[in-house]
A and B are shown apart, each in its own frame.
Chain A
Amino acid sequence: AQTVTQSQPEMSVQEAETVTLSCTYDTSESNYYLFWYKQPPSRQMILVIRQEAYKQQNATENRFSVNFQKAAKSFSLKISDSQLGDTAMYFCAFMGRNDYKLSFGAGTTVTVRA
């Protein structure tokens, strides 16, 4: 299984501010996919953003964007203009090109303060 590391157990951010979550991974594959999922207290896992490793352009979804550094095996998530509804656990995940199995990091709890 691939190793996914999230080194920040908890992050706190003021409403309307920006927060960046870090993620690193270990793989010998050249083609793969990376994801950020959000899990609010309701426990529903929600896909936030997806990145294909062969695309150099960083993915963006509204207020969410990533900084994908393939050589460094780094995949950080930036949440801009943080909202109270962004409070959740955020998981970074890796999927190999051909096996469709997700490997998750330990998660980062994000709390947005009013």
Chain B
Amino acid sequence: SAVISQKPSRDICQRGTSLTIQCQVDSQVTMMFWYRQQPGQSLTLIATANQGSEATYESGFVIDKFPISRPNLTFSTLTVSNMSPEDSSIYLCSVETSGRADTQYFGPGTRLTVL
């Protein structure tokens, strides 16, 4: 499986600010995804990060709030914009490698706390 890193690993932010989370993979991957895990909850898919085009968002998530970039096949960013305490969550990226086209592997996650 690919080695996936995320930066930052955790952050504490003030209400109204924005935070950009980075996801880096050590090899080229076909698909990258962003998930949110609210405290004590399961994971919910935010969007699929498409290389060279706009991300595909799931119901309940919008580009203005969660802009995503994917400039190449090994890197993606998720920005959480105009944050409120309800955005406090763990944000995880996952990748689906071309060698195993039906399995996702996850990064270590970013724990975000909004005050």
- Where the two chains meet, the residues of A that have a C-beta atom closer than 8 Å to any C-beta of B are 33, 35, 37, 42-47, 50, 52, 91, 95, 97, 100-107
Which residues of the partner chain B approach A95 to less than 8 Å between Cβ atoms? 102, 104
Q: How far is the CA of A42 from the CA of B111 in the complex (A)?
A: 11
B73 at the interface (CB under 8 A from A): no
- Where the two chains meet, the residues of B that have a C-beta atom closer than 8 Å to any C-beta of A are 1, 31, 33, 35, 41-45, 48, 58, 90, 92, 94, 96, 102-106, 108-109, 111
Check A33 against B90 for contact (C-beta < 8 Å).
no
Check B108 against A43 for contact (C-beta < 8 Å).
yes
Which residues of the partner chain B approach A33 to less than 8 Å between Cβ atoms? 102-103
Which residues of the partner chain B approach A35 to less than 8 Å between Cβ atoms? 103
Check B104 against A102 for contact (C-beta < 8 Å).
yes
Q: How far is the CA of A47 from the CA of B58 in the complex (A)?
A: 23
**How distant is B67 from chain A, measured CB to nearest CB, in Å?**
20
Given contacts A50-B103, A100-B96, A102-B104, contact A44 B42 (CB under 8 A): no
Q: How far is the CA of A70 from the CA of B104 in the complex (A)?
A: 22
Which residues of the partner chain A approach B102 to less than 8 Å between Cβ atoms? 33, 52, 95, 97, 100
Given contacts A35-B103, A95-B102, A100-B31, contact A43 B42 (CB under 8 A): no
Closest residue of chain B to A4, judged by CB?
B42
Check A106 against B96 for contact (C-beta < 8 Å).
no
Contact check: which of B42, B94, B104 meets A106 at CB < 8 Å? B42
Q: How far is the CA of A96 from the CA of B112 in the complex (A)?
A: 30
Check A102 against B45 for contact (C-beta < 8 Å).
yes
Q: How far is the CA of A103 from the CA of B45 in the complex (A)?
A: 8
Which residues of the partner chain A approach B108 to less than 8 Å between Cβ atoms? 42-44
Shortest 6 CB-CB contacts between residues of A and residues of B: A45-B106, A104-B42, A104-B43, A43-B109, A44-B108, A106-B42
**How distant is A93 from chain B, measured CB to nearest CB, in Å?**
8
**How distant is A104 from chain B, measured CB to nearest CB, in Å?**
4
